[in-house]
Structure 1
Amino acid sequence: MTPQDRELNPEILAEIARHPGATLAGSIYAVAEADRLAAAQRLERAGLWIHADVIMDDRTHRGVDLSLVHTLAERRIGPLDIHVIAPELDGLIDEICAQKVDRVTFPFESCSDYAAVADTAERIRASGAAAWLAVAPATELTAVRPCFEMLDGLLIMLIEPGSTGAADPALAAKAGQTRPALPAGVDGGINAVNLGACLQAGADYVVSGRALLSAANLAVPMAGDLTS
């Protein structure tokens, strides 16, 4: 274990190490705004993905600022996965794609139809990024299955984005139902207790926020910073 690894939750790192095919990402939205750049740098040093929730809606909490996304992309700090949480995607997707990130994850529920999913995914891929689709807890996988051939991966949300409450690990079963068509990940309330069940269910990609970063000397997030 490197000195940088000790700044992250050792139980989560150990569990991921027991599943060589799985990828771990740290959600920088889960720490205070002033600490997000430092958290991203820690994650990069540990060889992990950086997951950034960009939230543009009418709720009171703020997501990762686009200026930080620009900074991370400009400094090539990554790999960088931008998770867009917004009711309208058009202009926001284009702005994020212009930053040359590694992956853009967008919500199925913000797309009007399958054609909108395909168009958004095509624009993301044209920028050089991978296109992943996020699926809210209440959305059945059958509704999303027609989109599989348009995508590079699927992100299963275990809690509603931006909400509080405990994750529902049972929802991770969706991640095991996308093979062989797509890799799938899980996001929302992932910690050392429920991580193993998510991996056993078939998750290839795991996003953890407060639980992963809690071992670092970072400020405690505000009450609204509870998505991951």
Structure 2
Amino acid sequence: MVKLSGSILAANLSNLESEIKRVEKFIDEIHFDTMDGHFVPNLTFGYPLIEAVKNCTNLPIDVHLMVTNPEFHVEKLKEFDIQRITVHLETTYHIHRLISRIKEYGFEAFVALNPGTPLYLIEEIIPFLDGVLVMSVNPGFSGQKFIAKSIEKIKTLKNWKEKYGLNFSIAVDGGINETNADVVSSAGADILVMGYGIFKNNNLEQFSKLLKK
């Protein structure tokens, strides 16, 4: 079944608790974008907000590290009650070691790839991953247009699952909405990360039910 992951980057942060309560029964997890203003041209959420989100909901939390020093933040996050840590391949020289450390701390370990990063760069570490996050926009801001070529990456990842007999998740983040969610999920995506598509969606209940069918 396809899961919906609500990116709080698109939520009304002045009413964070009510925003989360409003959507939580229609989604499966919270996507938490940590940006450093260096790896991506934006500066967003830090550790105190993770605690604030945890106090608002029992939904699993995926911390997506869009930072140039993910190793530092993974060490900090080991004390937090979160489900998953997602790190960008582009931000570390030692991705296998970092993935191993994340799993050692008891978290699911996902690797994210920017639109311009080819899949073959992670083929050697696929057996060690819990999932791959395909960025279908250039990371940094909500509300961007979906990059259609991302569909090819999703299909290739699905083929890899069959080829290697693996069961990793395929997540997709960026520009997903009611018009393309079915295409993305049909290509092989298990997790749809949506900001505007969830927090700005006036028909979220209906959309959630239709997608999960």
- Taking structure 2 as the reference length, the TM-score comes to 0.82
Q: CA 1:126/1:43 → structure 2, altered by over 3 Å: closer, same or farther? A: farther
Aligned to 1:172: 151
TM superposition shift of 1:81: 0.8
Residue 110 of structure 2: SS of its match in structure 1?
Answer: strand
TM superposition shift of 1:170: 2.6
- Give the CA RMSD over aligned residues: 2.0
Residue 206 of structure 1: SS of its match in structure 2?
Answer: strand
Q: What is the alpha-carbon distance in structure 1 between the residues aligned to residue 119 and residue 15 of structure 2?
A: 36
Q: Which moved more, 1:53-62 or 1:138-147?
A: 53-62
Aligned to 1:10: none
Q: Which amino acid aligns with 1:154?
A: V
Residue 162 of structure 1: SS of its match in structure 2?
Answer: coil
Match of 1:30 among 5, 10, 13: 10
Q: CA 1:214/1:75 → structure 2, altered by over 3 Å: closer, same or farther? A: closer
Q: What is the alpha-carbon distance in structure 2 between the residues aligned to residue 140 and residue 103 of structure 1?
A: 23
Q: Which amino acid aligns with 1:81?
A: D
Does 2:28 match 1:48?
Answer: yes
Q: What is the alpha-carbon distance in structure 2 between the residues aligned to residue 85 and residue 215 of structure 1?
A: 25
Q: CA 1:47/1:27 → structure 2, altered by over 3 Å: closer, same or farther? A: closer
- Is 1:169–1:198's contact at 8 Å kept on the other side of the alignment? no
TM superposition shift of 1:125: 1.4
Deviations along 1:55-91, one digit per CA (max 9) or x if unpaired, are 1133663322321112334666321111110011121
TM superposition shift of 1:40: 3.0
Q: Which amino acid aligns with 2:47?
A: L
Does 2:75 match 1:89?
Answer: no
**Which structure 2 residues correspond to residues 56-95 of structure 1 after superposition, within 5 A?**
56-58=36-38, 61-73=42-54, 77-95=58-76
TM superposition shift of 1:38: 3.1
- Is 1:172–1:186's contact at 8 Å kept on the other side of the alignment? no
Structure 1: state its 5+ residue gaps. 1-20, 217-228
Structure 2: state its 5+ residue gaps. 203-213
Aligned to 2:209: none
Question: % of aligned pairs identical?
Answer: 24
Does 2:177 match 1:191?
Answer: yes
- Taking structure 1 as the reference length, the TM-score comes to 0.77
